[in-house]
Structure 1
Amino acid sequence: AYDEAIAIDPTNMTFVNNKSAVYFTLKEWDTCIEHCLKAVEIGKANQAPYEDRAKALARCAKAYQKKKDLVNAIEYCNLAQLEYYDKGTQRLLKTLELEKRKADTLAYQDDEKAEEAKQRGNEHFRNKDWGEAVKEYEDAVKRAPKNAPIRNNLSAALCKIMDFSGAKREIEKAIELDPQYVKAWARKGDIETVLKEYHKALESYKKGLELDNTNTTCSQGLRKVTQLINYGRQNMTEEQKKGQAARAMDDPEIRNILTDPVIQQVLRDFNENPNAAQQAMLDVGVRAKINKLIAAGVIETR
């Protein structure tokens, strides 16, 4: 029927475009694309509405998407938008661009090349060329995003250039990938100590020691951070103490503890009813929360 209509009026792109829709339904992508482009050609030659030409180009983009040819799919989506802007086509374009980024990311992954980049990073690290080490480790992470030891190395290099927030982000990702990775827990504790997040460092070192009670980095780190908590505040100015407490309040866990009615009562009892507070501290959960507040510098012991 479409062929008959085309024969009667070969200057009307609609019939050819409708035929392309049939081929799309039949999953004959190449033939669909061929007819889409032919429809556009006829449309341009005969001053067809821009909207009609855009629809044909959008279908062409969808056919390329089905073929997994995202480069051409994006190209024809853009061409469709140049002919006639359409919100649906714009949504398709964003979807295609996202698919392309994901495909490019997957295509870049290569365990062997990741190891090569890691070794180059190690060489730069040994030579104290921290910036180049970071670049190589970052490339290795892109090549093998689920490799926890590589992220640990990147975290170490970021520490060397004083990017502690970046270092913490990478080491937390390493732990997410491998919760049993003791070196990562130790490094996390070290970073948190530098950031004066002593309550977090305590937990990180303890977690590392739960996994390996012979780990010297965790045991030494635990001793150090305990000393900092117990004695460090004695040498702080009031301004420094306020700064530490303010930083601690950025931690959602600390805020949650402080809004716990039981903890609020215990804190009041420390001043008003010490015996009740002492009794409450016999509860393991309460004691852990109070100790966390002390470690964070939110409350002080006298």
Structure 2
Amino acid sequence: MEELKNAGNKEYKGGHFLEAISFYNKAIALYPQNAPCHNNKVVVLAYLGRYAEAVEECFKVIDCDPLYSRAHHRLGNLYLRFGQVEDAKQHLKLSGQEIGSKILQNLHRIETHLTNIRSTQKVEDWRRILTESNLAIEAGVDASYEVLAAKAEALLKLNKPKKSLEVLTAARKLIGNKSRKVHNRDWDFLII
């Protein structure tokens, strides 16, 4: 089992990410409660942009070892990408690492942008929605269905259908990884 994990690490370092996942999966099949193998798989999945799968795998790490601090830290960062600030805060705290002032400021910025997106949608201020969604993405919320759908809708309302389609295509790729823990059905109608 250790050899498989080490082989996965070697493949990861060599840039062979799918091969790394394969080795981690084999190691996990032999010993499903191996938190480090699950955790290594999280890193690769996140690197590949398969964020929903990475979240699911983080929960497997935590199921194996509820005190595995790196898994909580990674899960907090993944939740930030999805714009789920409260979940992010919870897992960043559970990681045992001190949440620095820069991270706290970023969490507050993200909350502000998400609130602004929601409030400006009510008044259909498409330029402001576009600005706020871009700011949220710049702050790290690059895998949020809500933010991507709002941005796509704003672009469409601002007569930029090609750009809107590009955003929808990117969002559609995210939905390909359906995870109950990160999926927000309210935005499916815009993306599907």
What residue ranges of structure 2 are gaps of 5+ in the alignment? 118-127, 137-144, 151-179, 182-192
TM-score, length basis structure 2 = 0.57
> 3-state SS of the aligned residue for 1:237?
helix
Query: Highest CA radius of gyration, 1 or 2?
Result: 1
Distance in structure 2 (CA, Å) of the matches to 1:207 and 1:116:
31
Instruction: Please report how far the alpha carbon of residue 227 of structure 1 lies from its aligned counterpart in structure 2 after TM superposition.
Output: 2.7
Which amino acid is 2:109 matched to?
Answer: Q
Q: Distance in 1 between matches of 2:68 and 2:111?
A: 26
TM-score, normalised via structure 1 length = 0.38
Aligned to 2:71: 184
1:225-264 map, 5 Å: 225-231=107-113, 233-234=115-116, 237=129, 243=146
Alpha-carbon distance in structure 2 between the residues aligned to 1:150 and 1:120: 11
From the superposition, tell whether residues 223 and 149 of structure 1 become closer, same or farther in structure 2 (CA, over 3 Å): farther
Counterpart residue number, 1:169:
56
Q: Which residue identity lines up with residue 206 of structure 1 in the other structure?
A: K
Q: Say if 2:83 and 2:110, in contact at 8 Å, map to a contact too.
A: no
2:94 corresponds to which residue? 207
Per chain length, whose mean CA-contact separation is higher, i.e. which structure has more relative contact order (CA < 8 Å, sep 6+)? 2
Is the 1:206–1:222 Cα contact (8 Å) retained in structure 2? Answer: no
Deviation at 1:155, TM superposition (A): 0.9
Answer yes or no: is the 8 Å Cα contact 1:152–1:184 preserved in 2.
yes
Name the count of aligned residue pairs: 131
Separation in structure 2 between the aligned mates of residue 226 and residue 139 of structure 1, nearest angstrom: 41
Letter in 1 for 2:85: Y
Aligned AA for 2:9? N
**Structure 2 counterpart of 1:129, one-letter code:** H
Alpha-carbon displacement from aligned partner over 1:186-208 (angstroms, at most 9, x marks no partner): 01011111122222111111222
| In 2, Cα distance between equivalents of 1:195 and 1:225 | 12
Is 1:132 the counterpart of 2:19? The answer is yes
1:56-95 to structure 2, matched below 5 A, reads none
Unpaired segments ≥5 residues, structure 1: 1-113, 252-302
1:156 correspondence with 2:47: no
Mapping 1:106-145, distance limit 5 Å: 114-145=1-32
How many Å separate the matches in 1 of 2:18 and 2:115?
35
